[in-house]
Amino acid sequence: MVIDFSNFHDLPRQMDRVLAEFMRPYGPVSRGMAYPPLNISEDEESVVIAAEIPGVDMSELDLTLTNKSLVIKGERKVEQGKYYRQERPTGPFQRIVTLGVPVDRDQIKATLKDGVLTVVLPKAEAIKPRKISIEDA
């Protein structure tokens, strides 16, 4: 009888990889979080997208609404200096938010205050809930 151990040849390397994954610090930086971080909320009237982009000027932002998505593009300038640790990302960024509902393109409002970009996308009238009156027959 011959026992084939060839399947276990790579086991030490695989175990090292699993242990390294457990030992890695857990947090936004280690998870490869997308930038900028977003909060997306919705009510009966609109969809609201809030993006944290401190240090980015309005002139460095570009918002584009396509048929089914909002594209947020920009660039965070590299600050010159000697860093001991740099956790705030720099350089160009882009986030695409897929919209699940049609929006009223003419009523969209975007504001930038205290490093938070807030985009309010009012829902199209066609999809808003409507009260239907019941008539006596």
Mean pLDDT of 23-47: 75
Q: Which domain holds residue 97?
A: 36-127
**Is residue 118 a contact partner of residue 111, using CB atoms and an 8 Å limit?**
yes
DSSP secondary structure, 53-104, as one string: -TT--GGGEEEEE-SSEEEEEEEEPPPPS--S---S--EEEEEEEE-SS-B-
Q: What is the CATH number of the domain that holds 90?
A: 2.60.40.790
Q: How many domains does the chain have?
A: 1
User: Which pLDDT tens digit goes with each residue over 43-68?
Assistant: 989 999 999 999 898 899 999 999 88
Domain-embedded: residue 13: no
Does the structure show a pLDDT above 70 at 16?
yes
Task: Give residue 33's pLDDT.
Answer: 65
pLDDT given for residue 34 in this prediction: 82
- Which ranges of the chain would DSSP assign to H, the alpha helix? 11-23, 28-31
With beta carbons less than 8 A apart as the criterion, state whether 63 and 70 touch.
Answer: yes
Question: Is residue 72, in this structure, part of any structural domain at all?
Answer: yes
Predicted TM-score (pTM) of the model is 0.68
